[in-house]
Amino acid sequence: MNRSFFAPLALVAALALPTQTGCGGGLRVRQIDAAQEKPANVLLFFRVNAGTDGVPGLQESAFTVKEDDHVVGPGVDRVIVNPDLRGAQATMVLVDLGGRPSAEDLEAMAGAVGALVERIGAGRRVGLYAIDGAEQPLALAPFGASLDALKGAVSRIPSYKTRDPSLDLNGGYISALRTLKQATPPSNGPRIANLVLLARGPDRASRFDLRAVSAELKKMDIDVSRFAVGFGPDAATAKLDTFADSAPVLAPTTDALRDAAVHVAEAIDDRGRSFYLLSYCTVARGGEHKVKLEVSRERPTEKGKPEVQTGSLQYSFRADGFGPGCTPNVPDGWKSEPPPGTVLRTSKEVQLDRARGGSKPSLAGAIPR
């Protein structure tokens, strides 16, 4: 059973039942958390991916919701929102400056980090940290730094003085995970984060092994996406798979390194817009029930022909003691504007929702792994 993201809801932890995540038709629909609350509210927070890329801006027509095989159609009893959570993400950029990097290596790393920061730094929670042989990463620009401060930190990378010529990649990464968790405190909204590693080689300090890194990951109670980019001749020996959710990128040249950093920035941007919240009023008044969420989208293939991608998610809940009086409102902390041009609710539905008012389930706590 997942630890609930919806901690204040009275019935969540006791009544949440196993879930299934589906990705059979090209889309991966991953549950982040779910909850239910009297009088009859059911909430499901999820993310949609195609491969490793987030899928933002899906329209209302892309979703089919079924409870016990009965369709829960769009209307006043069902709301699906696609909040723009790009600004809610905390992103740590961890730069390998260990060993004795050449001037060319330092310039290359600075260029890549600069390109990444330029795209995700404005108005976002970004921290820039360096690792070398020292026991703790060095904060070049801590979380909360302005964009100008981040750019200033990037400009100083070429003149970086290594504190210890070894490389504590594993230990530095463990410390980075802990710092990232601290930078994403509990709130009324989602706790989502990203960790980007730019590495030049393998761990040399041997303070921790890869099993310790994996063990620390299992302790994370926030939703973290991890990216790893290797640069230089020693990067292939660094076993970077442990540090990334998908295959790490090996960049053999300065231009390839910068392009990889730009791609990571774009992936982080899309990720912040690929979260969705389903809130609906169930007619169940007791017992166990199953919700199936189906997602589909049509997109052109390389040959120009349309292709339909699908995915699904199943969730079970209990409705003991449920009754009338439910309104499927969006809880506080989730009312950010969706990306431009995205309309998930009709104006009539919005007006009805505002007119009806009603109780609003609150979201707080930690997103599970």
pLDDT in tens, 132-165: 999 999 999 999 899 999 999 999 999 999 999 9
Collapsed DSSP state (helix, strand, coil) of residue 166: coil
What gap in Å lies between CA 215 and CA 340, rounded to an integer? 40
pLDDT in tens, 39-92: 999 999 999 999 878 999 999 999 999 999 999 999 999 999 998 888 888 999
Q: H-helix or E-strand containing 355?
A: helix 347-356
**How many other CB atoms are found less than 10 A from the CB of residue 301?**
8
Strand order through the sheet with 249-251: 138-141, 125-131, 90-96, 192-199, 223-231, 249-251
Query: How far is C-alpha 70 from the geometric centre of its chain's CA atoms?
Result: 31
Angle between the N-to-C axes of helices 169-182 and 210-218, in degrees from 0 to 180, rounded to the nearest 10? 10
What gap in Å lies between CA 94 and CA 101, rounded to an integer? 16
- pTM value is 0.79
- Residue found by looking up tokens 């070429």 in the block: 158
pLDDT in tens, 160-202: 999 999 999 999 999 999 999 999 877 666 788 999 999 999 9
Q: What dihedral angle (degrees, nearest 10) is formed by the CA atoms of 235, 239, 240, 241? A: 150
- Can you name the residues that pair with 153 across neighbouring β-strands? none
pLDDT at 44: 94
Handedness of CA 248, 249, 252, 254 (dihedral sign): negative
The first and second tokens of residue 49, run together, are: 């991916």
5 has a pLDDT exceeding 50: no
* DSSP for residue 136: S
